[in-house]
Chain A
Amino acid sequence: MEHTLTTQPHTGDRPRPAKNYLNAEKGIWSWMTTVDHKRIGVMYLVGVLSAFFVGGIFALIVRLTLLTPSHKLFGKVLITAQTYNRVFTLHGAIMVFLFIIPSVPAALGNFVMPLMLGAKDVAFPRLNLASFYLWVLGAVMAVCSMIFGAVDTGWTFYTPYSTTTDGAVTLMTMAVFVLGFSSIFTGINFVATVHKLRAPGIGWFDMPLFVWGIYSTAIIQVLATPVLGITLALLALERVFSIGIFDPKLGGDPVLFQHFFWFYSHPAVYIMILPGMAIISELIPTFSRKTMFGYRAVAYSSVSLALLSFIVWGHHLFVAGQSQLANVIFSALTFLVAIPSGVKMFNWLGTMYKGNISLETPMMYAISFLLLFAIGGLTGIFLGTLSTDVHLTDTYFVVAHFHYVMMGGTVIAFIGGLHYWWPKMTGRMYKEFWGQVGAVIVFIGFNMTFLTQFFLGSQGMPRRYYNYLDQYQPLHAFSTVGSWVLGLGLFLTAANLLASLRKPYDAPDNPWGGTTLEWQTSSPPITHNFEDQPVLEKAPYDYRPEPVAH
């Protein structure tokens, strides 16, 4: 079989079925009561993209406020310090809890993973729907906390600030509590699905690497998220009933909160980045038309990152007042994270080596990811090293670092994956040219916005600052202009994707020549995914020419 020419999409080997998961049932009620993983994935997608939009608007407001030290635009002060604090809190909380954490697993993972395993659905379809409704409930509670009193604690809710400040902090923490259960339910569901619902012939090492990434993520979601739930419940109890757990005025310990919080939130970093890496592990073999180099190494590195993520939380507390011995141990453990991350990076490059590489939009994002994640990872070394961390922590250096990992890593991979599976999900092809233009503008805008912030932080500009010294203004202004470029790129990308929805179905079953099972069903898939139970005949990423017979 000749590889599919991406420039001349074909319409698949079989005629498009009249009924697919999108049009098999009609009406809003059929969506609200669906237990189809594909529909739930699409609903999640709409939800998380809305959250991304709102969080992005807040980000643009933050950057606009910091354009000048006087915060003035056309002679008027944009927002006060108090409003600024609320805006960056909402930006962080929305982006982390409502967007990035559910983005890849709950939206794309929900849609793609059962297809990749040749399954009809996830293991517990009703639980899947319940987890979506919990997400909606959490989102509504978060929106209510914005309307009724706002929250100004930062997304980290550090005590005793969070137990003593005014505003709807209790409601916001409860929102995150509910969102946590949504995440746990998704995790349980995915673990069970991977264990029990693989099609005949799919052994553990025949699974696509995307599934390995989602599986590792699901384990962290199940094990770590309860700690966040308990911590925020304690925080709420302390606020409402003045139980002294974290506030020293009541006999509590504020550093304990930071330990609890990061015991979840550091693994959460891997809940966010592992699925992003998982997408890249799909995109690179597909668009290099070459088998994945070091499949097992990449699979094991996902699992080892998941495990390592549980023992490095203390590196967030180097200057917080934890014991010096703990600082040394956590610094040493933190360096271990570099090894599996590096292994993945080298294996992706090894896959591209001697490949047959085409640069469709998803691959543009994959290469963006490699460059941006490299910067995110390398700057992590500065922060894991004790002596340099003391100077850099709590400054813009940290802000830049985690944006390179979270946005340059996860979000860029998410957008790449969205373009990759868009034809499968919607049955439509977007305009390739505008997709590529969007990817380039996003890449440039992202670097303008955040590369500058490494320099701001190195110079000693603390994070979460409303007022700043005049000397920082040129870099702040450059970063703000970058945020507009980034916003423009994302707007273009969104418009390009949405515009494709107006067309009739035109996507072939396998537009990219992918080797995993989701490309063997129609675009969009039928409600039960496959006409017949698929059987895996070839390991994923096998691009050898077809033998004469098999």
Chain B
Amino acid sequence: MLPPQGSAYAAEVDTVYMALFWLSVVLFLGIAVCAIGFAWRYRYKPGRVTPHQTHNTMLEIIWSVIPLLLCIGIFFWGLHGWMEAAVAPGEAMEVQIVAKKWIWQFEYPDGTRTVNELHVPVNKPVRFVMTSEDVIHDFFVPDMRTKQDIVPGRYTQEWFTPTVLGVHHVTCAEYCGKGHSDMQAKLSVDTDADYQKFMETGGTEWEDYKNNPAAWGKLQWERKGCSTCHSIDGTRIPGGGPSWKGIWGKMEEMNDGRKVLVDQDYVIESEDFPQAKIVKGFEPIMPTFQGLLRSHERQGIIAFIKSLGNDPNGGPPAPTVLSLPPKPQPGQQAQGGAQGQAK
């Protein structure tokens, strides 16, 4: 009935939930048995005279006071659990979250940034300081039983102590438009060693894709949220951007009339400064990914776009396939200065 428990707090919430559930079942059955039982037991018989019972003050008091006491008890029980969730412990690690249509951006204490992928060490309290760049979003982690709106123009907080290793689901719970239901992230609860490794290298997963950079790029297309707006089958996503199919090497017409060749430079510029060149007929809605992509992630995306084919109507031929760069070193990544200084 409830999702897996990812923290000790989740188990506490579930205890309250299950208690309320069984209380509700009992009360519902009581009401149902009375309603249906009376309808059967006192079913219509012609001529039967019913007693003229207008009220019974004692009964009214009893069935007001007992529910009141029950409610007071439940209130304090719910308050108890919630108070605990309201204030993060002082030693909690702090992760900044910036939410925007329709991606999650996480920034760690050392300045590392990730998109739609959140890594935290197991058994350590972690506090999220969150804000939004556009509309209201909501950082909902069902396995942790925590949820908090992310409001533009202010900071809100949420915290938990993950106790279960592995991947948990993060999902946006405040309606934010077309890509609302695609605004998902992966919460990876790592061992200390794995977490440290991730902080240093941005993860080693890409090494599995050395021989197939396009497949690595496709993974980025899904993870970084590109897929919310850019299709790969030539269809146009309403309210989104151009499909990536067949655009490599194409001369695209911009909304100011310029013609621009879709090549590495154009792709990288669009990632960092998405408003610089807008393809004709589209809205300037793309968020910037400046500082959010590592070089091997960019390379993967470029390889993926290339793999989706050239412009069938000509244009210059595609350049040869790039090989992936060596394992990125701290400070050399595309995050820019923040991480370099932190090391």
On whether the beta carbons of A371 and B175 are closer than 8 Å, the reply is no
- Determine if A339 and B68 form an interchain contact, defined as CB atoms under 8 angstroms apart: yes
Interface residues of A in 332-347 (CB under 8 A from B): 332, 335-336, 338-339, 342-343, 345-347
Across-interface contacts of B72 in A (CB, < 8 A): 335
**In residues 45-62 of chain B, which contact A (Cβ within 8 Å)?**
45-56, 59-60
> Which residues of the partner chain A approach B1 to less than 8 Å between Cβ atoms?
455, 458-459
Q: Mark B7-42, 1 if CB is under 8 A from A, else 0.
A: 000001100110010011001100110111011001
Nearest A residue to B78, CB-CB: A385
Residue of B55, B67, B136 touching A294 (CB-CB under 8 A): B55
**From B133, which residue of chain A is reached at the shortest CB distance?**
A249
How far does the Cβ of B150 sit from chain A's closest Cβ, in whole Å?
Answer: 9
Cα(A354)–Cα(B110), bound, Å:
73
Cβ of A27 under 8 Å from chain B: no
**CB-contact partner of B78 in A160, A255, A342, A387, under 8 A:** A387
Q: List 16 A-B contacts (CB under 8 A).
A: A81-B180, A81-B238, A85-B175, A154-B175, A160-B136, A161-B135, A346-B59, A346-B63, A352-B39, A357-B39, A357-B44, A387-B79, A390-B13, A464-B181, A465-B181, A543-B49
A218 at the interface (CB under 8 A from B): no
The 9 A-B residue pairs with the shortest CB-CB distance, nearest first, are A248-B153, A460-B142, A385-B78, A387-B81, A386-B82, A358-B44, A465-B181, A290-B50, A335-B71
Determine if B38 and A355 form an interchain contact, defined as CB atoms under 8 angstroms apart: yes
Is there an interface contact between B175 and A161, defined as CB atoms closer than 8 Å?
A: yes
Who on chain A is nearest to B3 by CB?
A460
Instruction: Confirm or deny: A378 has a beta carbon within 8 angstroms of a beta carbon on chain B.
Output: yes
- Is residue B74 within 8 Å, beta carbon to beta carbon, of the partner chain? yes
Contacts of A389 in B (CB 8 A): 78
Q: Chain A 370-388, CB within 8 Å of chain B: the 1/0 string? A: 1100110011011011111
The CA of A324 and the CA of B82, in the complex, are separated in Å by 10
Tell whether, in the assembled complex, residue A390 and residue B82 are in contact, meaning their CB atoms are under 8 Å apart. yes
Is B136 a contact partner of A254 (Cβ separation < 8 A)?
Answer: yes
When distances are taken between beta carbons in the complex, the residues of chain B under 8 Å from A350 are: 53, 56, 59
Asked if residues A321 and B156 are in contact (CB atoms below 8 Å), the reply is: yes
Q: A82-B178, A319-B147 are in contact. List 16 more A-B contacts (CB 8 A).
A: A152-B178, A158-B175, A164-B134, A290-B51, A291-B50, A291-B53, A338-B67, A350-B53, A350-B56, A353-B34, A378-B24, A378-B27, A385-B74, A455-B1, A458-B2, A462-B173
Residues 154-181 of B contacting A (Cβ, < 8 Å): 154, 156, 169, 171-181
Please state if B67 and A81 are interface contacts (CB–CB under 8 Å). Answer: no
> B139 → chain A, closest Cβ, in Å?
9
Complex contacts, B147 vs chain A, CB 8 Å: 319, 390-391, 393-394
- A297 CB–B CB distance under 8 Å: yes
Query: Chain A residues near B42 (CB, 8 Å)?
Result: 288, 352-357
B201 within 8 A of A: no
Let me know if B85 is at the binding interface, CB within 8 A.
yes
Question: A458–B181 contact, CB under 8 A?
Answer: no
- Beta-carbon contacts under 8 Å, A363-413 to B: 363, 367, 370-371, 374-375, 378-379, 381-382, 384-391, 393-395
**A464 to B136 CA separation, bound complex (whole angstroms):** 14
Contact (Cβ within 8 A) B28 A374: yes
Say yes or no for A32: interface residue by CB 8 A criterion.
Answer: no
A386 touches B81 (CB 8 A): yes
Task: Count residues of chain A with CB under 8 A from any CB of chain B.
Answer: 93
Does B239 lie within 8 Å of A82, measured CB to CB?
yes
Query: Would A464 and B175 be within 8 Å (CB), given that A254-B153, A385-B16, A388-B20 are in contact?
Result: yes
Whether, in the assembled complex, A432 has its beta carbon less than 8 Å from a beta carbon of chain B, the answer is: no
Measured CA separation A352–B28 after assembly (Å): 17
Interface of A with B (CB < 8 Å)? 2, 5, 80-83, 85, 152, 154, 158, 160-161, 164-165, 248-249, 253-255, 288-297, 319-321, 324, 327-328, 331-332, 335-336, 338-339, 342-343, 345-347, 349-350, 352-359, 363, 367, 370-371, 374-375, 378-379, 381-382, 384-391, 393-395, 455, 458-460, 462-469, 542-545
CB of A269, distance to nearest CB on chain B (Å)? 18
**Among B63, B134, B238, contact of A343 (Cβ-Cβ < 8 Å):** B63
Which of A464, A469, A543 counts the most chain B CB atoms within 10 A?
A: A464
Interface of B is mostly: mixed
Q: Is B31 within 8 A of A345, CB to CB? A: yes
Chain B residues whose C-beta falls within 8 Å of the C-beta of A387 in the assembled complex: 12-13, 16, 77-82, 85, 145
A385 contact set on B, CB distance < 8 A: 16, 20, 74-75, 77-78
Interfacial chain A residues near B154, Cβ < 8 Å: 248, 321
B64 within 8 A of A: yes
Name A458's contact: one of B17, B51, B148, B237 (CB within 8 Å): B17
Contact assessment for B173 and A394 in the assembled complex, using a CB-CB cutoff below 8 Å: yes
Rounded to whole angstroms, the CA-CA distance of A544 and B53 in the bound complex is 10
User: Nearest CB to that of A327 among chain B residues?
Assistant: B82
Residue of B nearest to A394 (CB): B173
Question: With contacts A158-B136, A248-B153, A254-B136 known, is A395 near B47, CB below 8 A?
Answer: no
Complex contacts, B51 vs chain A, CB 8 Å: 290, 354
Residue in B52, B59, B60 whose beta carbon sits within 8 Å of that of A543 in the complex = B52
Inter-chain CA distance A191–B150, complex, in Å, is 42
Candidate in A354, A367, A390, A542 with the most chain B CB atoms within 10 angstroms: A390
Q: Is the CB of A293 within 8 A of B53?
A: yes
Q: Give the docked Cα–Cα distance between A85 and B60 (Å).
A: 46
Checking A295, A363, A460 against B171 with a beta-carbon cut-off of 8 angstroms, the contacting residue is: A460
Which B residues are CB-close (under 8 A) to A152? 177-178
Residue of B nearest to A154 (CB): B175
User: Does any Cβ of A come within 8 Å of B146's Cβ?
Assistant: yes
The digit string for B69-110, where 1 denotes a CB below 8 A from any CB of A, is 001101101111110011000000000000000000000000
**How distant is A501 from chain B, measured CB to nearest CB, in Å?**
28
Say yes or no: B136 contacts A339, CB within 8 Å.
Answer: no
State how many angstroms separate the Cβ of B103 from the closest Cβ of chain A: 15
Complex: A85 Cα to B180 Cα, angstroms: 10
A382 partner residues in chain B, CB cutoff 8 A? 17, 20, 24
Contact B67 A339 (CB under 8 A): yes
Residue of B nearest to A375 (CB): B28
Q: Provide the residues of chain A in CB contact with B55, threshold 8 Å.
A: 293-297
B43 within 8 A of A: yes
User: How close is B33's CB to chain A, nearest CB, in angstroms?
Assistant: 10
B-chain residues with CB within 8 Å of residue A393 when the two chains form the complex? 147, 173
Question: Judging by beta carbons under 8 Å apart, are A321 and B27 in contact?
Answer: no
How distant is the Cα of A387 from the Cα of B81 in the complex, in angstroms? Answer: 6
Select the residue from B24, B86, B146 with max chain A CB neighbours within 10 A: B24
- Which residues on the A side are within 8 Å of B27 (C-beta)? 374, 378
Does the CB pair A291–B28 fall under 8 Å?
Answer: no
* Identity of the chain B residue whose Cβ is nearest the Cβ of A390 in the assembled complex: B147
Complex Cα distance, B27 from A328, in Å, reads 26
- Judging by beta carbons under 8 Å apart, are A338 and B71 in contact? yes
User: Does B149 have its Cβ within 8 Å of any Cβ on chain A?
Assistant: yes
A349 and B24 in contact, given A394-B140, A458-B2 (Cβ under 8 angstroms)? no
Q: Is B268 an interface residue (CB 8 A)?
A: no
Q: Which residues of B contact A290 (CB under 8 A)?
A: 50-51, 53
**A385 and chain B: residue at smallest CB distance:** B78
Given A161-B176, A342-B63, A391-B145, A82–B238 Cβ distance below 8 Å?
Answer: yes
Q: Is the CB of A391 within 8 A of B142?
A: yes
CB-based contact A370/B31 at 8 Å: yes
Using known A-B contacts A82-B238, A293-B54, determine if residue A321 contacts B38 with beta carbons closer than 8 Å.
no
- Give chain B residues whose Cβ lies under 8 Å from the Cβ of A253: 153
B134 CB contact (under 8 Å) in A160, A291, A319? A160
Instruction: Tell me how far the C-beta of A516 lies from the nearest C-beta in chain B, rounded to whole angstroms.
Output: 16
A125 to chain B, nearest CB (A): 36
Bound-complex Cα distance A294 to B43 (A): 22
Name the one of A81, A345, A355, A469 contacting B50, with C-beta atoms under 8 angstroms: A355
B138 interface contact, C-beta 8 A = yes
A385 to B15, CA, bound (A): 13
Question: What's the least CB distance linking A165 to chain B, in Å?
Answer: 7
Q: Which of B140, B154, B176, B180 has the most CB of A within 10 A?
A: B180
CA distance A347 to B60 in the complex (A): 8
What residues of A have a CB within 8 angstroms of the CB of B45 in the complex? 356
